[in-house]
Structure 1
Amino acid sequence: MTVQRWKLIVTGRVQGVYYRASAVAQANDLGLHGYARNLPDGCVEIIAEGTEEQLDKLAAWCREGPPAARVHSVNVDKQDATGEFSEFGILR
Structure 2
Amino acid sequence: MSDRTTSPTIRVRILISGRVQGVGFRFSTREEATRRGVAGWVKNRPDGRVEAVFEGTEAQVEGMIRWCYQGPRSAQPTGVDVHCETPEGLQGFEIHHH
Q: TM-score range by the shorter chain?
A: over 0.9
How many Å apart are 1:64 and its aligned residue?
Answer: 0.2
Counterpart of 1:33 (choices 28, 35, 39) is 39
Q: Considering only aligned residues, what root-mean-square deviation do their CA atoms show, in Å?
A: 0.6
TM-score (structure 1 length as normaliser): 0.96
3-state SS, counterpart of residue 12 of structure 1: strand
Instruction: State how 1:46-57 maps to structure 2 within 5 Å.
Output: 46-57=52-63
Larger Rg: 2
What is the match of residue 3 of structure 2?
A: none
Give unpaired runs (5+ residues) of structure 1. Answer: none
* Per-residue Cα deviation, 1:13-38 (whole angstroms, up to 9, x for no partner): 00000000000000001101110000
Corresponding residue pairs, total: 91
Aligned with 1:81 (options 76, 84, 87): 87
User: Separation in 2 of the partners of 1:16 and 1:71?
Assistant: 13
- For residue 69 of structure 1, what is the aligned residue in structure 2? 75
Between the two proteins, what is the percent identity of the paired residues? 36
What SS is found at the alignment partner of 1:64? coil
Match for residue 29 of structure 2? Answer: 23
User: 2:91 aligned with 1:90, yes or no?
Assistant: no
User: Is there any run of 5+ residues in structure 2 with no aligned partner, and where?
Assistant: 1-6
- Answering whether residue 31 of structure 2 is matched by residue 13 of structure 1, we say no
The Cα of 1:61 is off from its aligned counterpart by 0.4
User: Which consecutive segments of 4 or more residues in structure 1 shift more than 3 A?
Assistant: none
Amino acid at match of 2:65: A
